[in-house]
Amino acid sequence: MVGTGGPVATFSVWDYVVFAGTILGTAGIGLFQAIRGRKDTSSAEFLLGGRQLTAVPVAMSLTASFMSGITVLGTPAEAYRFGVAFWLFAFSYAIMSSVTAEVFVPLFYRLGITSAYEYLEMRFSRLVRLIGTSMYIAQTWSHDVSFAFCSVTGLDLWGVLVATGAVCIIYCTVGGLKAVIWTDVLQMVIMLAGFLAVIARGAVLQDGLSKIWEDANKGGRLKAFDFDPDPLKRHTFWTIVIGGSVMWTSMYSINQSQVQRYIACKTLGHAKMSLYVNMVGLWVTVSLAVFSGLTMYSIYKNCDPFTNGDVSTTDQLLPYLVMDILAIYPGVPGLFVAAAYSGTLSTVSSSINALVAVTVEDFIFPVFKNLTAKQVTWMNMSLSVFFGGVCIGMAGVASTMGNILQAALSIFGMISGPLLGLYLLGMLFRTSNPTGGLLGMLVGLVLTLWVGIGGQLYPPTNEKTNPLPLTTTGCNNTMSQNYTTTAPWTSPLTLTSPSDVRPPLADAWYSLSYLYFAPLGVLTTIASGLLISIITGGCKQKKLNSDLFVKTSDLICFSCFSSSKVRMLNLLSGNLKVSEKVSPGFHISADDFTVTEYDVMSEDVAKATKL
């Protein structure tokens, strides 16, 4: 009986058919893109799609990259265990999208970079660039790839790993970024369909969505707004909105796998729009994922599968629910598992393509400057195969090590904060120099690693994580009555035993919310970087290009209401031809009939007026 615990069905023949169809469809898109673009095998085409992509597919790709395997499986489990507070990340997504679109996109687009870390050499030094690239590669190995659905559905883990590697390598190798983008679009549709299938079936079983909402309210799952300013509490309004915004900004604004997508857009307008459309996609995604978690709670409110021993990890809760409530519809469980699998495919393919880009641009081209086009093409394809194998191997190792994967995700957050601080130090402060940037980032990195690793060794107590109660009183094979679960996924790497004495820092410094790791790294890097730069003489030793800094004309609030832009539009409707270069500060685009402004100066407008 549904919701009462015990073993659930495994994959049927039709589930395997649907699952295999997803794999073949994904590989087919990659092959199609390879055949379609076979005439252009340049590095720019392979890594950036020829910089001719449009906003909507790029936005869907950005969202699909966000929806990794653990996001698909972990967000519903988060809502099931802790309630809807996770939905407050919608505010973080809005702030992240706005900051990335208005601050970082114009800068990167203006400089015409391929690797996000090219900026670090332009602004600081070659050494800083190489360290930044190395940090990105290190955090890429800790990407959140999950195959938790295998143990519940009966799929063979290593068989799925091999299939993942083969598919990703095929379409990344032969199709390049365009193949990654369009397969992400397919995967995005499949993932959303998986959530909708869970919610729809749950509503039928529970006699409507209102019953699900009512159960969630009775179980305390609808208390989202906690305005407690305590930075040690895991999720409050402030930790999610402030800390979450900085954390997601660090992942979208300077992470190569994301940057590579929006700088591949054909105009700055498309690049900015891709992030705003992505923001809407993230809202839809997190809303469906959270409501899937509430649906799961409504069904299992009297019989928690984790406490009852039906699943061994919390990532398996949603696959368990799917096999419990959807097994009567052959092929539907296969659709959901394909959704979770699509998140994994998107994450791995994004990693492969981004790793190829940074390796080629940051390590190979600076050393081997006379490579032929054919050599570059074969090098890109060979690196795709190599990184595909490494990514899948790492995912396989992580999948066999259980909760160690959660520790790897924490490392990702620890690294991204100081790296974002380094970029902001260079973009906002002309005083900062290479010495200050490098040492400031190292100070920030040491600090975040200290608090992050300490939090892994001495996990926060339930008082700070606030797990909500669950019971097994309604299970058919109950192991323990009236037992309230703790929060196992808040303790990713526990190396201490209950008898160990917690050090004084365990309940203070080490209990800092994981969402504050990134802000801590940003602020520490900027503050220490500025101080060291001032001590070491600032940047008097060289004249810096103004294009390396954020400009007011980059911001939509300035450009939309700029009188100079109105004048340029008047010129456009008069004597000037579309796509004619008016002045060094302006370029009129025929694609969207808008004026792209990089550095609006009054004399430029005066010159343009005389033309």
Q: Any residues with CB less than 8 A from the CB of 600 and at least 6 apart, and which?
A: 553, 559, 562, 564, 565, 585, 586
**Do the Cβ atoms of 96 and 245 come closer than 8 Å?**
yes
Q: How much is the pLDDT for 1?
A: 57
153: pLDDT confidence band, cut at 50, 70 and 90?
low
Mean pLDDT computed over 222-239: 88
Q: How much is the pLDDT for 521?
A: 93
Are 278 and 410 in the same domain?
yes
506: pLDDT confidence band, cut at 50, 70 and 90?
confident
70: pLDDT confidence band, cut at 50, 70 and 90?
low
How many domains does the structure of the chain reveal? Answer: 2
Residue from 147, 177, 140 nearest 162 by CA: 147
Residue found by looking up tokens 């070659």 in the block: 126
Whether residue 209 is contained in a domain is answered as: yes
Are 586 and 505 in the same domain?
no
Please list the residues that pair with 595 across neighbouring strands: 588
- What is the tens place of the pLDDT at every residue in 235-287? 899 999 999 899 889 888 988 888 888 888 888 888 899 999 999 989 998 99
**Do the Cβ atoms of 592 and 269 come closer than 8 Å?**
yes
Pairing state between β 595-597 and 586-588: antiparallel
More confident site: 173 or 303: 303
Residue from 67, 335, 320 nearest 185 by CA: 67
Are 509 and 557 in the same domain?
no
Are 578 and 526 in the same domain?
no
Are 28 and 164 in the same domain?
yes
Are 460 and 579 in the same domain?
no
Are 408 and 524 in the same domain?
yes
**Do the Cβ atoms of 79 and 289 come closer than 8 Å?**
yes
CA distances from 190 to 64, 65, 266 (A): 10, 13, 27
Are 522 and 563 in the same domain?
no
Whether residue 177 is contained in a domain is answered as: yes
**pLDDT beyond 50 at 594:** no
CATH number at residue 298: 1.20.1730.10
Are 387 and 439 in the same domain?
yes
Are 216 and 358 in the same domain?
yes
Domain that holds residue 524: 13-478+484-533
Are 458 and 527 in the same domain?
yes
